[in-house]
Amino acid sequence: MRLLKQDVIDKLTEKTGLYKKDVRAVLDSFHELVYEELDADNSILITNLFKVEPITVDSRKRYSPYVDDNYYIEKEHKTVKITPASNLLDSLKKEEE
């Protein structure tokens, strides 16, 4: 099952007793914050949930049958790494047992 943004807003409204417009404003602000901090090369750690950090992937050779020399150089680029907290992973393991 996948929760969409509206589903998350509905559930948070039920749990907190806040108005939907307030929950939506918090989620939108968090969305903006994540983008701003990643642009500034800062990581975000939400304790007991996850860590979001920008990383730089070094340039490297990639092999392809479609390129004449059979490889091409992939340029250095930035990407996002999201790491779940250890207790979040542990909660999934408990469900499997």
Same domain membership, residue 56 and residue 34: no
Same domain membership, residue 57 and residue 38: no
CA distance 6 to 9: 5
Same domain membership, residue 76 and residue 94: yes
Q: Given this model, what pLDDT does residue 52 score? A: 95
- pLDDT beyond 80 at 94: no
Same domain membership, residue 82 and residue 57: yes
Mean pLDDT of 30-53: 95
pTM of the model: 0.74
User: 8: domain range?
Assistant: 1-42
Average confidence score pLDDT of the chain: 89
Mean pLDDT of 67-79: 78
Same domain membership, residue 59 and residue 35: no
Residue recorded with tokens 């509206």: 6
**Secondary structure percentages of the chain, helix, strand, coil, to 5:** 45, 30, 30
Mean pLDDT of 55-70: 78
Same domain membership, residue 54 and residue 15: no
Same domain membership, residue 57 and residue 32: no
Same domain membership, residue 56 and residue 31: no
> Could you give the number of structural domains in the chain?
2
Same domain membership, residue 29 and residue 2: yes
Q: Given this model, what pLDDT does residue 22 score? A: 97
Percent of the chain having pLDDT more than 70? 93
Same domain membership, residue 54 and residue 37: no
Same domain membership, residue 60 and residue 26: no
Which of 65 and 30 is assigned the larger pLDDT?
Answer: 30
